[in-house]
Amino acid sequence: MNFKGKDIVSIRDLSREDIDQVLDLAERMIPYAKGEIFTKALDGRILANLFFEPSTRTHMSFSTAMSRLGGRTMEMAHPSMMSVAKGETLTDTIRMVESYSDVIVLRHPHEGSARLAAHFSSKPVINAGDGAGQHPTQTLLDLFTIRREFKRIEDVKVALVGDLKYGRTVHSLAEALTMFGAEVTFVAPANLQMPRETVRQVEKLGGKPKLTSKLEEVIKEVDVLYVTRIQKERFPDPAEYQKIAGVYRIDNDLLREAKRDLIVMHPLPRVDEIAPEVDGTEHARYFVQAFNGVPVRMALLLLVLGGEL
């Protein structure tokens, strides 16, 4: 696909070939992302960071990505610059922002906002998370992290762990992993297991997902532990939350059972899901994963803006 001028609203809009194209370019972006070499590929271009709710990592990594490409960012972040208090609609805001920028990165609390924005904007819109909807750049950087680590995604055994019911990004990730031939396992307490709809979607894509509530059942086999936060608010009883959170906490005791080259991923920020003692082990990959947001977002920006290295 020729990405120039395209919106990036949902990972489902991208074919396997499209994703490979992004990840291949992201690979080339690594030394630029690290600040080892420099480019002015997007000199003169402006990215509008339109964040209706905070999202530190996504926000900063888009800014960094644009800067590393020689472009500028304009901040329109919650709550500092918002006219919304005066009652402006999202579509009016978008039609203003498109006048002031070359690409719009949108974070919004409501599902479907990115699709709406993309419809009204003549400039490319990149969805940086819209409520319970999609967060395609997170999925891309997750795929990129696994691909970089194992030199492939096919046949890699990935356990998605934690809140799989409400966790926005794990649904898209499960599908995307399956599309690339990974073997997915869903590890969650019964009340937070993967929704049926996603399980069926994975099966439709040819996957044979294993579902379990027991981490110890899968820890010896898997290559990737993709850990997500379990939110206190999901549990009416705090004691119940504490118990569950304890069971799914990743620590060195657990990791002694794991394959030597197992990697632990997490979209961050973490609270207690991964013990700090894991940080120093060779399993920890969540900080690398956070960094990978930069080259992946650089690749996307370069593609949708038609920049050349």
Residue 75 CB, nearest approach to its own copies (Å): 7
The answer to whether the beta carbons of residues 82 and 107 sit under 8 Å apart is: no
228 binds its own copies (CB under 8 A): no
131 binds its own copies (CB under 8 A): no
* C-alpha distance from residue 129 to each of 8, 37, 226, 259 (Å): 11, 30, 19, 33
Binding its own copies (rule: CB under 8 A), the pick from 83, 191, 242, 252 is 83
Residue 271 CB, nearest approach to its own copies (Å): 5
Tokens 């010896």 belong to 220
Tell me the residue type at 299.
Answer: A
CA angle 45, 50, 51 (to 5 degrees): 140
Which 8-state DSSP code applies to residue 101? -
Residue 278 CB, nearest approach to its own copies (Å): 12
3-state secondary structure of 309: coil
H helices within 152-192, ranges in order?
168-179
What residues numbered 252-281 form the site for its own copies, per CB under 8 A? 268-271, 276
Q: Is 155 left (phi over 0), alpha (psi -120 to 50) or beta?
A: left
92 binds its own copies (CB under 8 A): yes
Residue 56 CB, nearest approach to its own copies (Å): 4
Query: Which of the ranges 65-73, 128-136, 188-196, 256-264 carries the binding residues for its own copies, by CB under 8 A?
Result: 65-73
Residue 68 or 249: the one with the smaller Cβ distance to its own copies is: 68
Q: Is the omega angle on the peptide bond into residue 109 within 30 degrees of 0, that is, cis? A: no
Q: Interface residues with its own copies (CB under 8 A)? A: 35, 38, 43-46, 48, 54-57, 59-61, 63-64, 67-68, 70, 72, 74-83, 85-88, 91-93, 95-97, 99-102, 268-271, 276, 287, 290-291, 294
